[in-house]
């Protein structure tokens, strides 16, 4: 049997930054605070968030495509 592990990261737009903590928007008004110490994020950037940490910066097009895919997936539930 093959054991496949996967982690999920959700794109979000950086709204504000205070130190290593950023307020990000996951879309449709869902905002949370995440740690940005692992990336060089600026207000307006898009980041991938996993377990409360921004782990990678994304360009706007890639972020929007991913958010659209998430919306489609969640509509199926």
pTM of the complete model: 0.83
Q: Which domains are seen in the chain, by residue range?
A: 10-76 (2.30.30.140)
- 13-55 pLDDT, tens digit per residue, is 999 999 999 999 998 888 999 999 999 999 999 999 999 999 9
Is the pLDDT confidence value at 7 over 80?
no
User: Which tokens belong to 12?
Assistant: 């979000």
Name residue, tokens 């958010």: 67
- Half-sphere exposure of 18 toward its Cβ, with a 13 Å CA cutoff? 2
Question: CA geometry: angle at 46 spanning 28 and 16, to 5°?
Answer: 80
Identity of the highest mean pLDDT range in 3-7, 9-13, 19-23, 72-76: 19-23
Is the pLDDT confidence value at 2 over 70?
no
């Amino acid at each position: 049997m093959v054991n496949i592990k996967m982690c999920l990261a959700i794109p979000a737009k950086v709204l504000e930054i205070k130190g290593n903590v950023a307020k990000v928007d996951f879309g449709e008004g869902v905002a949370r605070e995440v740690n940005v110490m692992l990336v060089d994020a600026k207000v307006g950037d898009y980041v991938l968030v996993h377990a409360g940490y921004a782990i990678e910066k994304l360009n706007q097009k890639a972020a929007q495509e991913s958010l659209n895919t998430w919306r489609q997936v969640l509509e199926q539930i």
